[in-house]
Amino acid sequence: MEENSSLVDNMVKHKHVHIPTPPPLPCPATSVCDRKIMAMAMALVRAQDRKGQTSTSVNSGTKDMWERLFDEAYRADVVVHTDNGGKIYGHSSVLGMTSPVMRQMMKQSKRKGRRRSISIRGVPHDAVRVFIRFLYSSCYDAAEMEEFILHLLILSHVYVVPHLKKECEKQLENGLLNIENAMDVFQLALLCDAPRLSLICHRMILNNFKAISATEGWKVMKEAHPILEREILATVAQADARQKDFERKRNERKAYVQLYDAMEALVHICRDGCKTIGPRDKAPKEDEAPCAYSACKGLELLLRHFAACKLRASGGSCAQCKRMGQLLELHSRLCADSDACRVPLCRNFKERSRKPNKKEEMRWKILAKKILRSKSISGAPFFSLTTTT
């Protein structure tokens, strides 16, 4: 030993090796600035710890060690009794740290020899084994999770294991929830205080009510929880009513958009002309590109019939002429300048609207406003709300 120390001293003296200067020893912060920096750093570390943002590095060897500790039950001091006489051995320190309910159960249990005894009844033995195994390594087999997920959701809630409960909810949301088990999962979500999962199940029930109401889970729920059945049926009726109201409003808006397009096409035909029809002072443009107005062709046929209808000329009632007359009157309600308008009968209908008839006038005003609002624009330069206010 003395020879080795003298050898090192000689090497340092003769500079055969380079020994780096050691870092300075940690010393307390003296200045106010240093103390503030250290306080801020410690506060940041504590905040990250609370939020779970600290980085971890758990390799497979560590997980395997916890798996072996559970499988081999090395120095196990707890026996978990399950249905049909099953036994699962565990460690009180592990079970107590991961589940506060189990910790209290072990405190109240009597020691038999060197082991304490607790019981978990009402679920299959294999499900309890998967549950206890998860408490050790936070690992599970995918096939076992799929088979016992409902039991694991119950166990995680009863024994207060939030990370397992969160994993069960995640697996159900990502594919294990289906038509057959939706009703069972919905009831468990309500009992186990899982609001997000219950909302997802409720939406699935509303969207697939006919299929879910034919499952075995629905029949069991109907017999065991008639109040819950009535509540679900009420929400289904409300959802149907909302859907019908939505479809009605969508169809109304579609009709208003079509009427607006017809008004634009009518101005286009009477002002600019289109294909084989147009104002008298302009020649038809048969070689023109296809018309951009979708309602132009239908209006062209209506206008030709309106101009040449013999039944209307003789004082009879023609459905097509009546429809054309309604379109012309609607245009007059929307027209911004009737004096300069080229649409037939626009000024006549405008003067007719000034005669007092409050009920009919109100209907036309409401229709005109809805038509203009369906496009979310003012309608200028052809149309305006000024004449409908």
Encode pLDDT of 188-204 as tens digits: 999 999 999 999 999 99
Question: Do 299 and 267 touch, CB atoms closer than 8 A?
Answer: no
Question: Do 279 and 273 touch, CB atoms closer than 8 A?
Answer: yes
Name the band, by pLDDT with cuts 50, 70 and 90, for residue 261: confident
Residue range 41-56: average pLDDT? 52
Q: Residue 227's pLDDT is what?
A: 93
Name the band, by pLDDT with cuts 50, 70 and 90, for residue 18: very low
Name the band, by pLDDT with cuts 50, 70 and 90, for residue 153: very high
Distance CA 388, CA 385 (A): 5
Q: Residue 207's pLDDT is what?
A: 92
Distance CA 8, CA 297 (A): 105
Q: Which residue has the tokens 């819950």?
A: 228
Q: Residue 133's pLDDT is what?
A: 93
Distance CA 388, CA 381 (A): 15
Distance CA 319, CA 297 (A): 18
> Residue 88 belongs to what H/E stretch?
strand 87-90
Among 236, 234, 295, residue whose Cα is nearest residue 266:
295
Among 377, 372, 295, 368, residue whose Cα is nearest residue 329:
368
Among 163, 176, 83, residue whose Cα is nearest residue 123:
83
Q: Residue 15's pLDDT is what?
A: 45
Residue range 289-317: average pLDDT? 76
pLDDT digits (tens, 9 = 90+) for 223-258: 999 999 999 999 999 999 999 999 999 998 888 888
DSSP 285: B
Distance CA 382, CA 375 (A): 14
Average pLDDT of the chain to the nearest whole number: 79
pLDDT digits (tens, 9 = 90+) for 341-377: 878 788 787 777 777 677 877 888 888 888 878 765 4
Q: Which residue has the tokens 């340092």?
A: 12
Distance CA 242, CA 270 (A): 42
Q: Residue 40's pLDDT is what?
A: 58
Among 114, 88, 92, residue whose Cα is nearest residue 102:
92
Q: Collapsing DSSP states into helix, strand and coil, what is residue 35?
A: helix
pLDDT > 60? residue 109: yes
